[in-house]
Amino acid sequence: MKRRHFIQGAVAAGGALAFPAIVTGQSQYKAEYKLSTVVGPAFPWGKGGEIWANLVREKTGGRINVKMYPGVSLVQGDQTREFSAIRQGIIDMAIGSTINWSPQVKELNLFSLPFLMPDFAAVDALTQGEIGKRMFATLDKQGVVPLAWGENGFRELTNSKREIRTPADLKGLKIRIVGSPLFNDTFTDLGANPTQMSWADAQPAFASGAVDGQENPMAIFTAAKLHTVGHKFCTLWGYVCDPLAFVVNKEVWASWTPADRDAVRAAAVEAAKQELALARAGITKEDQSTYKQVEGFGVKITRLTPAEREQFVIATRRVYARWKAQIGKELVDVAEQAIAKRKV
> Contact residues for ligand X2X (CB under 6 A)?
38-39, 79, 97, 99-100, 152, 178, 199, 216, 220, 242
> 70 or 132: whose CB is closer to ligand X2X?
70
> 218 or 263: whose CB is closer to ligand X2X?
218
Centre a 10 Å sphere on the Cβ of residue 129 and count the other Cβ atoms it contains. Answer: 16
Nearest distance from C-beta of residue 14 to ligand X2X, angstroms: 50
Angle between helices 130-141 and 120-127 (to 10 degrees): 50
Given the DSSP bridges, would you call strands 174-177 and 93-97 parallel, antiparallel or unpaired?
unpaired
Nearest distance from C-beta of residue 105 to ligand X2X, angstroms: 14
Nearest distance from C-beta of residue 341 to ligand X2X, angstroms: 28
> 92 or 242: whose CB is closer to ligand X2X?
242
> 116 or 263: whose CB is closer to ligand X2X?
116
Nearest distance from C-beta of residue 216 to ligand X2X, angstroms: 5
Cβ-proximal residues to 243 (8 Å cutoff; 6+ apart), any chain: 97, 98, 111, 123, 126, 127, 149, 150, 151, 152
Q: If we measure between CA atoms, which residue out of 236, 332, 207, 219 comes closest to residue 280? A: 219
Q: Which residue is nearest to ligand X2X (CB)?
A: 199
- Fill in the amino acid letter for 179: G
Centre a 10 Å sphere on the Cβ of residue 284 and count the other Cβ atoms it contains. Answer: 12
Q: Report how far residue 193's alpha carbon sits from residue 184's, in angstroms, rounded to the nearest whole number.
A: 9
> 59 or 227: whose CB is closer to ligand X2X?
227
Nearest distance from C-beta of residue 108 to ligand X2X, angstroms: 11
